[in-house]
Amino acid sequence: MTGRFPEDFLFGASTSAHQIEGSHDVDGRGESVWDVFARTPGAIEGGGDASVATDSYRRWRDDIDLLSELGLGAYRFSVGWSRIVPDGRGRVETRGLDHYERVVDTLLDRGIAPVLTLNHWDMPQALMADGGWISRGAVDAFAEFTTAVAERLADRVDWWITQNEPWIIQLLGYQLGLHAPGIADHRSAVTAGHHVLLAHGVGADILHGYERPKVGSALSLFPCDPATDTEADREAAWGSDGYVNRWYLEPLLGSVYPADMRAHWERAIGGDLDFIRDSDEQAIGGRSDFLGVNYYTRRVMAAAPANPFPWRVVGPSGDVARTDEGWEVAPDSFRDLLIRLSRDYPGVPLLITENGAVSGESPTHDGRVHDVRRIAYLRSHLNAVHEAIAAGADVRGYLHWSLLDNFEWSLGYRPRFGLVHVDYPTGRRTIKDSGRHYADIVRARSLDVPLPEAPSADTGAVE
């Protein structure tokens, strides 16, 4: 692993409001769809919720101190939608805006670039009265939210992400019911996903009315490989690619929804996609100044009877490296994905907005967290980014998921993604070996740095 990253390459880390903030009853915050979903028996592994999480609404200065200690130049965070427009429409809560203004100003004072996400899944519960994202009215509500945040922060924030992972919202929130709001219906799902993309277009138009903002969406992208070299499995992989990737990439960065996937969805719901109006695709496309890439692993696909789609995930054959969540570690697929994106959508810069691994190590007798597997994952994926850049991919930065261990949605607090370990009962933060190694990489702007040495007395803890 040799070579340096560009001098202007952004190294940072990511979080989201609902996963870290807690303080749900503070400063006029309204109820979100995840507050309600978490009260559903069995919805959250371990039965927890995010009412405390990592207590970052109160401890945000501690978290910025950690960013500074690690030498990171960028911080992706989200603005809690329910904190800004508690009732979904109408009244704007200025105390929430005041909080995020303090966060942004402190980041800028520390020389850390804010990367602000508007919707990281915490839609106000009040909007469910009209069906949430199933309703076209959610697009108007998102426009009001975007306007409120832009009026306060667009003069200081350069990087804006309108939507985080539209496919996950559509799939887990409205198709399988495994995430908030817990709806399981194919027509509702594809309708909701379309409105999320339409809201991106509306939000981008609002933000482009200001001088500074660069606007994009963060997509959860999964390269799809055939399980065998048979024509049937190759077709299954291409269909899965359309379902997971192209259905969002094409309207955002191309011009229209892919025809093969329109046909798949029409078969799945047994009717036309009449909620896509004539002018909608023009209102979505051509508005992305960059693409946010969230990458964790790949999908290995095989042909299957249509139910409702003719493919299934079978996973890789043989013994492969996996994270604690069972996901294959596949950095070569990451490299190839970045090269593909730059080839298919030339002129669209890429920002890695999430990449990370579940690895459950805790502090040992020396006070340190020796997460050697996360270090290996981090190095292999940063090497993949470097190789993609060398091959011509226009990658502007890498934001690791996550800065902190946090509330991982329906999986509760079991999976740990953080560069920083959080002891949930006390809130104590301890920088893991991976965090310190990442800091070394950032400082050198290169992977040519030594691996962590033997434990020392320095615990890196923040009380």
* Integer-rounded Cα radius of gyration of the chain: 21
DSSP state of 395: E
Closest CA to 296 of 324, 257, 254: 324
Task: Single out the catalytic residue among 21, 93, 165, 361.
Answer: 165
Is 354 labeled as catalytic in the residue annotation?
Answer: yes
Q: How far apart are CA 126 and CA 163, in angstroms?
A: 19
Q: Report the distance separating Cα 22 and Cα 273, nearest Å.
A: 39
d(CA 450, CA 463): 29
Query: d(Cα 226, Cα 342) in Å, to the nearest integer?
Result: 22
Cis status, amide bond into 181, omega within 30 of 0 = yes
Tokens 């978290």 found at:
63
Length of the chain: 463
Cα 268 from Cα 307, distance rounded (Å):
8
Asked if residue 384 lies in contact with residue 377, where contact means CB atoms within 8 angstroms, the answer is no
> CA-to-CA distance for 200 and 216, rounded, in angstroms?
8
Please state, in angstroms and rounded to a whole number, the distance separating the CA atoms of residues 113 and 10.
8
Going by C-alpha positions, the residue among 17, 129, 13, 174 that lies closest to residue 84 is 17
The conformation of residue 133, written as its DSSP 8-state character, comes to: G
How far are the Cα atoms of 49, 150, 392, 426 from residue 14, in angstroms, in the given order?
20, 20, 25, 22
Written as six digits, the tokens of 116 are 């602000």
Mutual angle of helices 372-390 and 331-344, in 10-degree steps = 30
C-beta of residue 9 within 8 angstroms of C-beta of residue 157: no
- 189 C-beta neighbours (distance < 10 Å), count: 26
On whether the CB atoms of residues 316 and 322 are closer than 8 A, the answer is: no
Choosing from 93, 281, 354, 408, which is the catalytic residue? 354
For residue 143, give both structure tokens.
């426009």
Please say if 231 is a catalytic residue.
no
Instruction: Give the catalytic positions in this structure.
Output: 165, 354
